[in-house]
Amino acid sequence: MNVEFIDKMGTDLTVVNAARVSYAKVKQQFENRDEKLIAYLAKHNHWSPFAHASLQFKIKAPIFVARQLVKHQVGLSWNEVSRRYVDYPPELFDPDIWRERPVNSKQGSSGMKFLSRKLRMDHASTMEQCKILYNSLIIEGVAPEQARMVLPQATYTEWYWSGSLYAFARVCNLRCANDTQLETRMVANKISEICNKEFPICWKYLLVKQEEGV
């Protein structure tokens, strides 16, 4: 899986100026006292100034991860590669470890699960057969929009994901939590790392909501 930082608009100062425009004030340089304003905005859920800063990512992940993340819609735009149009050989995600089903929950996972040799071989064989069948259908002249139906959720997909800083904070506050699916959390953690680098003051206070359980 991969998260590539493509572009951004704004800085921490962008958020400060968006908030201070109510008083017809514009600053050219970020000052220490501006951090208090950002902290106040985040604490009291004044989200609109954070919507004036934005980021764009290009992400590669398995379909089952993408379908979890695409549920986040507000303040975000998503454009994904379509196998209606492309027919290059599929790449499938192969987990390093398998996890056990939790005892007291209908979702999530618990500890490491060791598969039998037969199950490991069955898994590898099934994934390979899916790729072979897909490629055979394409070679035979079947339309990519139909041939894709034989591919599993482990198939890698790619998409551009753009949105406001506040929107990505909402994503990361949910998807970076320890009770989320590991594979999805890996993507969210990388997004969070980049947001923190590009907007260090804003991110410091936007992500504190997760720690406080807000």
SS (H, E, C) the chain: CEEEEEEEECCHHHHHHHHHHHHCCCCCCCCHHHHHHHHHHHHCCCCHHHHHCEEEEEEEEEHHHHHHHCCCCCCEEEEECCCCCCCCCCCECCCCCEECCCCCCCCCCCCEECCCHHHHHHHHHHHHHHHHHHHHHHHHCCCHHHHHHHCCCCEEEEEEEEEEHHHHHHHHHHHCCCCCCHHHHHHHHHHHHHHHHHCHHHHHHHCHHHHHCC
Q: Which amino acid is at 203?
A: W
- Which two structure tokens, joined as six digits, stand for 5? 């930082």
148 is catalytic: no
- Which two structure tokens, joined as six digits, stand for 86? 């492309």
Q: Considering 148, 170, 175, 185, which one is annotated as catalytic?
A: 175
Catalytic residues: 175
